[in-house]
């Protein structure tokens, strides 16, 4: 048998070990995407999405401007119900939406490339509560928000500072976006997300980004990724579309993510969820392209199934895994980056349920080829709580995803035939040259897992993973060092916020 060529194979190869602990701004997957559906099946789902767009239509609520834009591009409107000729949305998106783009961070070493073989891992988003062993479950505050910015900054497996890490419930609803944005900029130098809760808050986000990056830079580059949810089924409202248009106008990314609890906001079957979600995504991304051709967009799905017992959303389920997998394949076929989740769970505490569900979702997200993995770390209670312990546990898993994504090292060093020759049958490899040379970088080392003997573990206090995670996040916060921020920029941000905050009254109406 001839020796097969060493240079073949579909993945890039490096001379050194590829199993080092991750220290990169984002993941570039050397493993192929896993696809559970054939092209023929994916085509059926695309066809059904177009049937939804053409025949059933999408309701565009309270946004005559968006309706007019769609109609000018070839859609028809019947009141707020907009219908799109088959193929129209796909054509518009494929004509101008980038398949890959860079989101810039204020520290260029933290820039992330979104799309293609890249995966960006992003903290959880949007919870009104926080959970910790120490404090139990309580309303989140701006102090919590800052803490999670700091933790995300310190977790090398997380590539992004995220957006609404938790809702600072101690600040007025209509002004809290200022402090959230400022915290992202001040306490981290990773990329972050803008506000989407009102068009004017989207504009504030762009304006604050311009203080950091400069006006012209923002107009030509993506510095904000922004979460635009559809009101599934088949509905968009003027709040979300208003924010989308602001961001698109300024060349900032709209991540159009239908939010579906299957059984309530969609049929219960996965093929239907996938088609509906795609139809909604196509509609939103089309508006971004019509607003500014070439504005970056991300197709997202957020899918949960529904508990028979309580009607509550469930997570980490096999049905959700399938929809993530199919969504990623549909995005690749469309030619846009894909967003999905994440460390999902319905558990109230960081117990075994939380971990099984999170791991199931994280694993599926990685192999499906998700480009922007929102909710990677911290998610508890179906997104109602951000967990301190869960955050660092999930971040530990994030590190492992990066190692797995690097694939098998097929270099000479990885093949290690000389080590096998040197040691031989019946001996151990602990002291051989290859082991000595590779040991430090050979295996991912978790800071949370306990691999000691039972007796050592007892001696260490018989701690659960939750308690070890508590120690870890506390020690991280205690040793946090902020990245440098140009004092002039800092001052201008503070002046901007102060002027804005005093220009209109506080309100807690969302």
Interface pattern 381-420 for a copy of itself (x via CB under 8 A) = xx-xx-------x---x--xx-xx--xxxx--xxxxx-xx
- Closest distance to a copy of itself from the beta carbon of 251 (Å): 30
427 lines the binding site for a copy of itself (CB under 8 A): yes
Tokens of 231: 């009101």
- For residue 50, state whether it binds a copy of itself (rule: CB under 8 A): yes
Q: How many residues bind a copy of itself (CB under 8 A)?
A: 143
Provide the total of helices (H) and of strands (E) in the chain, helices listed first.
18, 20
| Residue from 120, 171, 241, 465 binding a copy of itself (CB under 8 A) | 465
The residue among 337 and 365 lying less far from a copy of itself, judged by its C-beta, is 365
- Binding string, residues 131-150; x marks residues near a copy of itself by CB under 8 A: ------x-------------
CB of 274 to a copy of itself, least distance (A): 8
- Token readout for 74 is 């070839």
User: Smallest distance from the beta carbon of 60 to a copy of itself, in angstroms?
Assistant: 9
Residue in 14, 51, 495, 508 binding a copy of itself, rule: CB under 8 A: 51
Strand 112-115 to 118-123 pairing? unpaired
Among 155-163, 186-194, 299-307, 488-496, which window interacts with a copy of itself (CB under 8 A)? 299-307
Residue closer to a copy of itself, measured from CB, 154 or 442: 442
Count of residues for the chain? Answer: 510
- Candidates 23, 72, 109, 308: give the one binding a copy of itself (CB under 8 A): 308
In the bound state with a copy of itself, the residue whose beta carbon lies nearer, of 418 and 486, is: 418
Q: Give the single-character DSSP code of 194.
A: -
Residue 23 binding a copy of itself, by CB under 8 A: no
Residue with Cβ nearer a copy of itself (68 or 467): 467
CB 25 within 8 A of CB 112: yes
Q: Is 238 in the site for a copy of itself (CB under 8 A)?
A: no
Q: Is 454 exposed, middle or buried (0-12, 13-18, 19+ CB in 10 A)?
A: exposed
Pick out residues in 52-91 that bind a copy of itself (CB under 8 A). 52, 55-59, 81, 86-87
Could you tell me if 190 and 110 are in contact, meaning their C-beta atoms sit under 8 angstroms apart? yes
Cβ nearer to a copy of itself, comparing 263 with 483: 263
76 vs 498, beta carbon nearer a copy of itself: 76
Contacting residue, 453, 479, 481, 502, with a copy of itself by CB under 8 A:
453
Determine the interface stretch with a copy of itself among 147-155, 177-185, 249-257, 436-444 (rule: CB under 8 A). Answer: 436-444
Residue 390 Cβ vs a copy of itself, minimum distance, rounded to whole Å: 8
Q: Give CA–CA dist 341/303, Å, rounded.
A: 9
φ/ψ region of 234 (left if φ > 0, alpha if ψ in -120 to 50, else beta) reads left
In the complex with a copy of itself, the residue whose CB is nearer, 217 or 458, is 458
Stretch that binds a copy of itself, among 42-50, 140-148, 163-171, 194-202 (CB under 8 A): 42-50
User: 414, 18 in Cβ contact below 8 A?
Assistant: yes
266 touches 272 (CB < 8 A): yes
Question: What does residue 509 show for φ and ψ, rounded to 5 degrees?
Answer: -85, 125
Q: Which of 450, 471, 483, 500 binds a copy of itself (CB under 8 A)?
A: 450
Q: Strands 58-60, 235-236: parallel, antiparallel or unpaired by DSSP?
A: parallel
Which of 23, 40, 509, 510 binds a copy of itself (CB under 8 A)? It is 40
* Burial class (CB within 10 angstroms; exposed 0-12, middle 13-18, buried 19+) of 200: middle
Taking the least distance from each CB to a copy of itself, the nearer of 35 and 156 is: 35
Q: Is 156 in the site for a copy of itself (CB under 8 A)?
A: no
Q: How far apart are the first and last CA of the chain?
A: 70
DSSP class of residue 57 equals -
Q: How far is CA 58 from CA 30, 49, 75, 235, in A?
A: 38, 11, 11, 5
CB 482, min distance to a copy of itself, A: 30
Alpha-carbon torsion angle 242, 243, 248, 254, nearest 10: -130
Say if CB 180 and CB 143 are below 8 A apart: no
Residue 18: exposed, middle, or buried by beta-carbon count in 10 A (0-12, 13-18, 19+)?
buried
8 or 505, CB closer to a copy of itself? 8
By CB under 8 A, the residues from 327 to 386 that bind a copy of itself are 346-360, 363-364, 367, 381-382, 384-385
Give the Å distances, CA to CA, from 428 to 19, 212, 228, 236, 433: 21, 56, 56, 63, 12
Q: Give the range of 164-172, 334-342, 465-473, 488-496 binding a copy of itself by CB under 8 A.
A: 465-473
DSSP state of 267: -
Which residue lies nearer to a copy of itself by CB, 474 or 492?
474
Question: Which span (195-203, 248-256, 319-327, 487-495) binds a copy of itself, by CB under 8 A?
Answer: 319-327
The span of 107-115, 333-341, 446-454, 490-498 binding a copy of itself (CB under 8 A) equals 446-454
Cα–chain center distance at 391: 14
Q: Verify binding: residue 44, a copy of itself, rule CB under 8 A.
A: yes
DSSP reduced 3-state for 305: strand
Establish if 271 lies at the interface with a copy of itself (CB under 8 A): yes
Nearer to a copy of itself, 230 or 497 (CB): 230
Which two structure tokens, joined as six digits, stand for 374? Answer: 């929102």
CA dihedral 152, 154, 160, 166 (to 10 degrees): 10
């Amino acid at each position: 048998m001839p020796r097969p060529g060493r240079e073949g194979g579909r993945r890039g190869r490096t001379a050194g070990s590829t199993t080092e602990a991750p220290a990169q701004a984002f993941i570039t997957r050397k493993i192929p995407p896993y696809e559970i559906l054939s092209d023929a099946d994916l085509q059926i789902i695309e066809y059904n999405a177009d049937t939804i767009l053409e025949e059933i239509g999408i309701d565009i609520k309270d946004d005559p401007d968006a309706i007019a834009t769609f109609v000018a591009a070839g859609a028809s409107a019947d009141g707020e119900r907009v219908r799109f000729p088959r193929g129209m949305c796909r054509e518009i998106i494929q004509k101008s939406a980038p398949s890959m783009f860079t989101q810039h961070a204020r520290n260029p070493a933290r820039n992330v490339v979104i799309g293609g073989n890249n995966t960006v891992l992003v903290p959880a988003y949007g919870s009104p509560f926080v959970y910790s062993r120490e404090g139990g479950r309580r309303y989140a505050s701006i102090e919590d928000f800052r803490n999670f910015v700091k933790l995300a900054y310190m977790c090398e497996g997380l590539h992004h500072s995220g957006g609404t890490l938790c809702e600072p419930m101690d600040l007025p609803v209509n002004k809290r976006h200022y402090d959230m944005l400022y915290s992202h900029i001040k306490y981290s130098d990773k990329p972050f997300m803008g506000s989407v809760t009102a068009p004017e808050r989207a504009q504030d986000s762009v304006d604050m980004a311009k203080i950091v990056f400069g006006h012209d830079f923002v107009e030509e580059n993506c510095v904000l990724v922004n979460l635009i949810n559809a009101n599934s089924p088949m509905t968009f409202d003027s709040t979300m579309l208003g924010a989308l248009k602001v961001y698109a106008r300024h060349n900032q990314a709209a991540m159009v993510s239908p939010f579906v609890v299957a059984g309530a906001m969609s049929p219960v079957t996965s093929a239907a969820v996938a088609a509906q979600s795609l139809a909604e995504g196509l509609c939103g991304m089309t508006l971004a392209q019509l607003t500014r051709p070439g504005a970056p967009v991300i197709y997202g799905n957020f899918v949960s199934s529904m508990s028979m017992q309580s009607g509550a959303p469930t997570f980490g389920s096999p049905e959700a895994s399938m929809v993530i997998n199919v969504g990623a394949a549909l995005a690749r076929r469309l030619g846009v980056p894909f967003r999905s989740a994440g460390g999902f769970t319905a558990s109230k505490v960081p117990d075994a349920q939380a971990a099984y569900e999170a791991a199931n979702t994280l694993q599926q997200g990685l192999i499906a080829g998700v480009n922007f993995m929102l909710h990677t770390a911290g998610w508890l209670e179906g997104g109602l709580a951000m967990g301190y312990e869960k955050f660092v546990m999930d971040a530990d898993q994030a590190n492992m995803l990066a190692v797995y994504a690097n694939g098998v090292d097929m270099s000479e060093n990885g093949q290690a035939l000389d080590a096998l020759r040197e040691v031989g049958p019946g001996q151990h490899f602990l002291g051989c040259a290859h082991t000595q040379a590779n040991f430090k970088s050979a295996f991912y080392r978790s800071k949370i897992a306990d691999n000691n003997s039972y007796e050592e573990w007892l001696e260490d206090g018989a701690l659960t993973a939750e308690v070890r995670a508590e120690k870890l996040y506390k020690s991280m916060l205690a040793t946090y060092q902020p990245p440098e921020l140009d004092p002039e920029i800092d001052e201008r941000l503070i002046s901007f916020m102060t002027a804005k905050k005093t220009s209109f009254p506080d309100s807690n109406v969302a």
